Amino acid sequence: MSLLPIITFPHPFLRKKAEPIAEEQIGSWRPLVSDMIETMRRHDGVGLAAPQVEQSLRLAIISKEVVSDSKDWVLINPKIIKHSWRRASLEESCLSVPGIRKEVKRYVKIRVKARDKDGLAFNFEAKDFLARVIQHEIDHLDGILIVDK
Ligand code: ZN
């Protein structure tokens, strides 16, 4: 495993819409996933999206502390398929926008479908802080940063 450099605002790559990962390619990104997990942990992040390490891939990881699981979650081609009408505001920070804290309004509850690191499709409901982190990471996949909110 190795640490990856995190690119920061205003790097133009952060504005690119990331490409979906083909199902049969998912396995080949496993080393990148390991490196992203290591990188996220080293920076005390709660999530990391592939565009932040200059990869145009719809791939994000969510820290196990946020999902209250024994493993970090790997979301491949994640998509919000349903959301609450209610939104809430909270200050967020971002490893790609250092030194800035920004109040961001997010849906309180979302339903997400994605594939895991083995390519298996799954879908789940997330609320509150987990829902917030996932929306933040999906924004990265669409080239959106907290400074745009
Ligand atoms: Zn971020």
pTM more than 0.85: yes
26-31's contacts with Cβ under 8 Å and 24+ in sequence apart are 26/76, 26/115, 26/117, 26/118, 26/119, 27/118, 27/119, 29/57, 29/59, 29/76, 30/117
- What integer pLDDT is reported at residue 84 of this predicted model? 98
- What integer pLDDT is reported at residue 1 of this predicted model? 78
Residue 56 and residue 15 in contact, taking contact as beta carbons nearer than 8 Å: no
Residues with CB under 5 A from ligand 1 (ion): 94
Residue 37, H or E segment: helix 30-42
Nearest CA among 91, 87, 115, 111 for reference residue 102? 91
The answer to whether 38 is a known catalytic residue is no
Q: Which residues pair with 82 in a beta bridge?
A: 111
Q: Given 23, 38, 92, 137, which residue is catalytic? A: 137
Q: How far is the CA of 89 from the centre of ligand 1 (A)?
A: 16
Q: Give the type of residue at 23.
A: E
Q: How far is the CA of 93 from the centre of ligand 1 (A)?
A: 7
Q: How far is the CA of 96 from the centre of ligand 1 (A)?
A: 6
Q: How far is the CA of 36 from the centre of ligand 1 (A)?
A: 13
Q: How far is the CA of 8 from the centre of ligand 1 (A)?
A: 10
State which residues of the chain have pLDDT below 50: none
Count of CB atoms situated within 10 Å of the CB of 75: 25
